[in-house]
Each structure stands twice: as structure tokens, then as C-alpha cells.
Structure 1
């Protein structure tokens, strides 16, 4: 009986957050090692299905860097990166499109449907909702078919969300000449969140959030304002690879998104714990 009461208490705690976020849009960025971890991905997608079931409007944006690198290696293509951007020639683009649109996008959608949800893959093979232009390297390096999102087909995405379906969007875009481009998944998720005026943008990472000591998981900062985040960068508390991620969060806040979260996607049900509990499990950055 005590266990049953504890479960009921958990539901009551969640009720307030469900009421608060019901009908609100949350963009969830999937990528990296999470797509390789079948157990973690299963539980993350189960969280997404739960969110939609209780009235939230989740939108999934995904990359697939590790799978792309492996597929390129299998095809005899050596991966090359310039400042974190994958150089994408014509042959590489074929591999990227196959992995993102032909494999991962379909797989994520099918997994969600097997879990009882309703999902729709919005890829260049179905309906492409990301439009853009070539990304120009500031130093003049040739990145090939790497793009930057300039507009998002908001009506299509919102139409699905309003009919209780979860849009699943790969990080690919078309330009005005129908040329396909490879897009960084973080920036694609940011573009979608900004276009929709999302209440939340969640970056699923392999760390548990922003830490005061990057080596100590217990030093996580549960919540901070944008001003505090800038100060922590200036003070050297936030450093290394976390700097560009936090700066991306700040840029997103400047463009209308209410809150940005960085959480460890490997933690079971981390999405639900972050959104529907008082303490959360990651770092929330707010304006």
C-alpha cells in the first residue's frame, strides 16, 4: 500500500507541471551516442509518447553523426570536419541522406508507433519542413553541401502537433533550387524551436548538465539565468565543449524560446524527470 501511495504522490506532483505545460511546444534534440544506445533511445521515445499523451506537443529533431561516420567508412569515404562541421561532398551527401532520412527517421517514427504513440516523419523523402542556404565558412573553407536553416514550414509542423502526432525531423534542408544540404542537428533544433516559439528546447547530451566542476557530476547547476550563464563563461566555470552548447542556448533564448534544458539522455526517463518533477535532473537556462 505504501508503494501505491508513493506512486499516487508522484502523479499528483506531476499534475501541476502537466497543467502548466499542456498545449505547449517542446522541441527535443536527439543525436550522438543516444541513437546508438537502443535501451536509452527506447526510454526516451517512451517519454516523448507520454508527453504527447498528457497534452504536451513534443517535436523531435535528430541528427546521426556516429551512424553517418560509420556508413561513410563502410562506403570507403573518409570523414573530414572543419570547426565541428562535417565536410559534405556529393558522395558524402548521399550517405548522409540515406542514414538520416532513409534509416534513422523511419526507425524513430516506427519505434514511437510501437510504443503506442502517433508520429510522422518529416524528411526530404516525405515532406521537408526545413529550408535553407549553403553555410559559408568564415575562413573560406569549402564545406561542400553543408547548409544553414533560414526558414521552417511552421504550418505543417503545427498541423501535426494539433492532431496529436509527433513530428520527427532529420537535420536536412532544401534550398530554393531544390538542392539538399546537411545541417548541424543542434542548429536545426534551434531553428525549429525559434520558428514555433517553443516553450522549451531540450538538448539531450551525454553529460548531466552544466557543472561548476566539469569532472564532478554532483556539481550540476539545476537552473540559471542567461546573465548568470554569461558570467560563468567569463569566469571560466563553464569551459571547453560546454561553452558552444551554452552559447547556443543563450542565442535561442534571445530569439523567443522560454527555456532551454541540457540533460543526460542516458538516464532512464530523464525527459519526464526534468519536465514533470520539481527538482529536475539537468540544467535549465532561462531568460
Structure 2
């Protein structure tokens, strides 16, 4: 009986958050090691289905790094990176188009359906919603067929949300000239969140959030204002790879997104725990 009462208490705690975010859009960036962890991925997709069921409007934007690397190895194409971004030549582009915009995108859509939700894959193989142009680095180095999103077709995404379906979007865009481009999944998710004026943008990561000590998970900071985040960058507490992620979060907040979250996607039901509990399990960054 006590266990049943505890479950009821959890539902009551969640009710306030459910009412607050009902009808609001949340963009979820899915990628990295989470996509390769079958158990973690299943729980994330169940969380997405729950969110839609209680009236939130989740949108999934995904990468596919490890699946792409495996496919490149099978095709004997050597991966090359410049400043952390994948150099995309003609052969690599074909693999990325097939694996990221095709196989991974369809797999995630099918899994949501299999688990009881409703989803629609939106890619260059079906209905494309991301449009962009070639990315040019300040250094002048060429990344090949790597792009940045300049336009998002809101009407298609919002039409699916209105009919209670989960849009599933790969980080792959099309130019006005019909050329396709490989896009960084973080920046693709940011573009979608900004275009939709999302209430939340959630980065599912392989770390539990922003930490005072980057090597100690117990030093996680659950809530950060923009001012506090900039101070932690200046003091060196936010360092190395977390700096560009936090700076991207701050840029997104300045463009109409309500809050940005960094959450460990490997933690079971981390999405629900972050959104529907008072303390959360990751880091929430707000304006």
C-alpha cells in the first residue's frame, strides 16, 4: 500500500508540471552514445510518447554519428574531422544521406510507433523541413558538403503536432539549389527550437549536466541563469567541450526559446524526471 501511495504522490507532483506545459512544444536533441544504447533509447522514446499523451508537443531532432561511422567503415570511406566537424565529401554525403536521413530516421519513427505512439519521419526521403546553405568556417577551411540550417518549414511540423504525431527530423538539410548538406545535430535542434518558439530545448547528452567540477558528477548545477552561466565560463568552471554547448544554449535563449536543458540520456526516464519533477536530474539554463 505504501508503494502505491508513493506512486500516487509522484503523479500528484507531476500534475502541476503537466498542466503548466500542456500544449507547449519541446524539442529533444537525440544523438551520440544514446542512439547506440538500446535500453536507454527505448526509455527515452517511451518518455517522448508519455509527453505527447499528456498534451505536450515533443519534436525529435537526431544525429547518427556512430551508425554513420560504421557505414563508412563498411564502405571503406575514411572519416575525416576538421575542428570537430565531419568533413563530408561526395562519398561520405551519400552514406550520411542513406544512414542518417534514411535508416536511422525511419528506425526511430518505427520504434515510436512500435511502443504505442504516433510519429512521422521528416527527411529528404519523405517530406523535408530543414533548408540551408553550405557552412563556411572563419578559418577558410572547407568542410565539403556540410551545411547550416537557415530555414525551417514550421507549417509541416506544427501540422503534425496538431494531429498528435511526433515529428522525427534528421540533422540533414537541403539547399535552394537542391544540394544536400550534413548538419551538426546540436545546431539543427537549435534551429528547429527557435523556429517553433519552443518552450524547451533538451540536449540528451552522455554527461549529467553542467558541473562545478567537470570530473565529479555529484557537483552538478541543476539551475543556471544566463548571468551565472557566463560567470562560470569566465571563472573556468565551465571548460573544454562544455563551453560551446553552454554558449549555444545561451544563444538559443536569446532567440525565443524558453529554457534549455542538458540531461544524461542514459539515465532511465531522464526526460520525465527533468520536466515533471521539482528538482530535475540535469541542468536547466534560463534567461
- Could you state the TM-score of these two structures normalised by the residue count of structure 1? 0.99
| 1:149-168 Cα distance to aligned partner (Å, 9 max, x none) | 00000000000001100000
Aligned CA-pair RMSD: 0.5
Report the 3-state secondary structure (helix = DSSP H, G, I; strand = E; otherwise coil) of the residue aligned with 1:173.
Answer: strand
Cα distance, 1:272 vs. partner? 0.1
Cα distance, 1:92 vs. partner? 0.4
Q: How far apart, in 2, do the equivalents of 1:257 and 1:122 lie?
A: 22
Q: How far apart, in 2, do the equivalents of 1:249 and 1:102 lie?
A: 28
Q: How far apart, in 2, do the equivalents of 1:139 and 1:4 lie?
A: 60
User: Which stretch shifts more, 203-212 or 77-86?
Assistant: 77-86
Cα distance, 1:96 vs. partner? 0.3
Q: How far apart, in 2, do the equivalents of 1:246 and 1:73 lie?
A: 32
Matched, 1:216 2:216: yes
Cα distance, 1:65 vs. partner? 0.9
Q: How far apart, in 1, do the equivalents of 2:104 and 2:93 lie?
A: 15
Q: How far apart, in 2, do the equivalents of 1:251 and 1:219 lie?
A: 24
Q: How far apart, in 1, do the equivalents of 2:177 and 2:213 lie?
A: 48
Q: How far apart, in 2, do the equivalents of 1:214 and 1:176 lie?
A: 42
Q: How far apart, in 2, do the equivalents of 1:30 and 1:98 lie?
A: 18
Cα distance, 1:52 vs. partner? 0.2
Matched, 1:124 2:124: yes
Report the 3-state secondary structure (helix = DSSP H, G, I; strand = E; otherwise coil) of the residue aligned with 2:195.
Answer: helix
Report the 3-state secondary structure (helix = DSSP H, G, I; strand = E; otherwise coil) of the residue aligned with 1:78.
Answer: coil
Q: Which runs of 5+ in 1 are unaligned?
A: none
Q: How far apart, in 1, do the equivalents of 2:260 and 2:273 lie?
A: 15
Matched, 1:181 2:181: yes
Matched, 1:40 2:40: yes
Cα distance, 1:114 vs. partner? 0.8
Q: How far apart, in 2, do the equivalents of 1:52 and 1:95 lie?
A: 32
Q: How far apart, in 2, do the equivalents of 1:238 and 1:180 lie?
A: 35
| 1:129-156 Cα distance to aligned partner (Å, 9 max, x none) | 0000000121111111000100000000
User: What number of residue pairs does the alignment pair up?
Assistant: 287
Report the 3-state secondary structure (helix = DSSP H, G, I; strand = E; otherwise coil) of the residue aligned with 1:26.
Answer: strand
Cα distance, 1:215 vs. partner? 1.1
Q: How far apart, in 2, do the equivalents of 1:207 and 1:275 lie?
A: 17
Cα distance, 1:84 vs. partner? 1.3
Structure 1 ranges of 4+ moved more than 4 A: none
Q: How far apart, in 2, do the equivalents of 1:137 and 1:90 lie?
A: 19
Partner in structure 1 of residue 252 of structure 2 = 252
